[in-house]
Chains A and B, each alone.
Chain A
Amino acid sequence: DSGVTQTPKHLITATGQRVTLRCSPRSGDLSVYWYQQSLDQGLQFLIQYYNGEERAKGNILERFSAQQFPDLHSELNLSSLELGDSALYFCASSPGAYYNSPLHFGNGTRLTVT
């Protein structure tokens, strides 16, 4: 158990809809990262938050947004969903702001857009 909690485990929704994915980091970790993994693909970095502030941005679409709350949990909002957004979305956490700490991944949320 990594200590990172992601909910829900599965989401099935229709094109054009909006969903929210939730992540609770490991106790004591201040950074939260979001990654997208499409079928048999690698991990695409979306965005990082550190202690409530956006720290780094990757290939995140404008239809996607995220935030980190004072209790350090994070939410990833995906809107105007398209079929191509179907993927596994992972949240990861680490203690510090930089990339020299190991990332601890949650079990992921599998999003299916029909």
Chain B
Amino acid sequence: GQQVMQIPQYQHVQEGEDFTTYCNSSTTLSNIQWYKQRPGGHPVFLIQLVKSGEVKKQKRLTFQFGEAKKNSSLHITATQTTDVGTYFCAGGTGTASKLTFGTGTRLQVTL
């Protein structure tokens, strides 16, 4: 079945450093969504990408969908302590009417 892996599993940065998480699918995706889950919280939708090569920005966050639509990345510029949490990508395919969530990247930010 479809698998979606994320790397790294965990990253610890100092406030002000940049952070990137990568999402790789075993199959071509129709769309990819990104979610953030704060410690003790529930996943919250951040963004959706649907086009090959698409890049979207939300303030310090930059999301990219690969040309082959099998990978994606989330880059955070100048991290803040409010960025702490686990970031999940979730991919949808035409053959499976469901989103498959990635394994997640846990981000820890310290002062």
Contacts and interface: CB of A to CB of B under 8 A. Distances in A.
Contact of A99 (B35, B41, B42, B99): B99
Contact of A100 (B35, B43, B50): B50
B42 A105 contact: yes
A45 B100 contact: yes
- Interface size classification for chain B: 20 to 34
A95 to B, nearest CB: 13
Contacts, number: 60
Contacts of B90: 43, 103
B111 interface: no
A102 B48 contact: yes
Contacts of A33: 98
A18 B41 CA distance: 26
Interface string B92-106: 100011111111100
Contacts of B30: 99-100
A16 interface: no
Contacts of A58: 98
A43 B97 contact: no
B44 interface: yes
A42 B101 CA distance: 7
Interface string B68-87: 00000000000000000000
Nearest to A48: B98
23 contacts: A2-B42, A2-B44, A33-B98, A35-B101, A42-B101, A42-B103, A42-B104, A43-B43, A43-B101, A45-B99, A55-B97, A56-B97, A92-B43, A99-B97, A99-B99, A100-B31, A100-B48, A102-B33, A102-B45, A103-B33, A103-B90, A105-B42, A105-B43
Q: Considering the complex of A and B, which 6 residue pairs feature the smallest CB-CB distances, nearest first?
A: A99-B92, A102-B45, A105-B42, A43-B101, A56-B98, A56-B97
